[in-house]
């Protein structure tokens, strides 16, 4: 298995632009997690899905952030409009069951908003 | 979700055994203890998980006392490549989510 796949690996954009991050979980995994990591705030859980349904989005910082999981093999995290404070590394992870199962993380997307 | 407390940073030397302790005073009966390792520019990676007493795998050992209010991750004979951030997490079996704290930044020196 190729593991969790994320794209792009790096994204540089200007303030106000729309950014879309993509994630392909491990085949057969039922839960998917989006995290954001910064030096100041560490690793924050933004949202997680179980069987393609958003279960908890309490970590999503504001309405500019949205996430979808149209099917079991694909999820997106969108920021519109982007702001410099959104600059961070965004990780996607998947598990066979819930969060307490082994989480397999993708390589992350490093986002820079100028 | 049980709150965890671990040292912000630790230093050691190659060949030494390193023990990182995590406190989780309000751990619940059905909570498991899980440790992850994160290298720079990579996502966290599962190391070990346990419920009580001792668990050992090819990478580390996890010691959990009877009261389960703390746990210790033990890395035998560390090398430079063990320099990373180590996270302790607590959550129930089947829990939907776990919370990553600030972790312990371990630096191994030659």
For chain B of 110 residues, list the mean pLDDT of each consecutive stretch of 10: 87 97 90 93 94 94 96 96 94 71 93
Residue A41: per-residue pLDDT: 87
Backbone angle region of B107, left / alpha / beta, with phi > 0 → left and psi within -120 to 50 → alpha: beta
Cβ contact A24:A110 at 8 Å: no
Structural tokens at position B81 = 């490549």
At residue A42, does pLDDT exceed 70? yes
Question: Which residue does chain A place closest to B35, by CA atoms?
Answer: A102
The whole-number average pLDDT for the span A1-6 is 88
Q: B7 to chain A, minimum CA–CA distance in Å?
A: 15
Residue A53: per-residue pLDDT: 94
Instruction: State percent of chain A over pLDDT 70.
Output: 99
In angstroms, the CA B90 to CA B52 distance is: 12
What average pLDDT does chain A have?
94
Strands B9-13 and B104-109: parallel
Cβ-Cβ contacts under 8 Å, A56 against chain B? 96-97
C-alpha torsion sign, points B42, B45, B47, B50: positive
Question: Which residue does chain B place closest to A40, by CA atoms?
Answer: B102
Residue B106: per-residue pLDDT: 98
At residue A14, does pLDDT exceed 90? yes
Nearest CB to B96 within list A35, A42, A55: A55
Residue A108: per-residue pLDDT: 97
CB pairs under 8 A between A and B: 62
Cβ-defined contact of B95 to A56 (cutoff 8 Å)? no
Higher-confidence residue of A2 and B7: namely B7
In angstroms, the CA A31 to CA B65 distance is: 31
Neighbours of B110 (CB within 10 A): 6
| pLDDT tens sequence across A43-81 | 999 999 999 999 889 889 889 999 999 999 999 999 999
Q: Which of A83, A87, A110, A107 is nearest to A6 (CA)?
A: A107
Residue B94: per-residue pLDDT: 60
């Amino acid at each position: 298995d190729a593991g969790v796949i994320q794209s792009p690996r790096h994204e540089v954009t200007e303030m106000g632009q729309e950014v879309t991050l993509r994630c392909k979980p491990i085949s057969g995994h039922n839960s998917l997690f989006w995290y954001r990591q910064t030096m100041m705030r560490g690793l924050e859980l933004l949202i997680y899905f179980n069987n393609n349904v958003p279960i908890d989005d309490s970590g999503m910082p504001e309405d500019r952030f949205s996430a979808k999981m149209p099917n079991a093999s694909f999820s997106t995290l969108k920021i519109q409009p982007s702001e410099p404070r959104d600059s961070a590394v965004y990780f996607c992870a998947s598990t066979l069951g819930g969060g307490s199962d082994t989480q397999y993380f993708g390589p992350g997307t490093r986002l820079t908003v100028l | 979700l049980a709150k965890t407390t671990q040292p912000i940073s630790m230093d050691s030397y190659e060949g030494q055994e390193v023990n990182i302790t995590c406190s989780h005073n309000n751990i619940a009966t059905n909570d498991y203890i899980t440790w992850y390792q994160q290298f720079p520019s990579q996502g966290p990676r599962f190391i070990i998980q346990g419920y009580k007493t001792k668990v050992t795998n090819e990478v580390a050992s996890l010691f959990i006392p009877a009261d389960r209010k703390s746990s210790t991750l033990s890395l035998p004979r560390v090398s430079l490549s063990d320099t990373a951030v180590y996270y302790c997490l607590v959550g129930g079996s089947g829990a939907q989510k776990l919370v990553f704290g600030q972790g312990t930044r371990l630096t191994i020196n030659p």
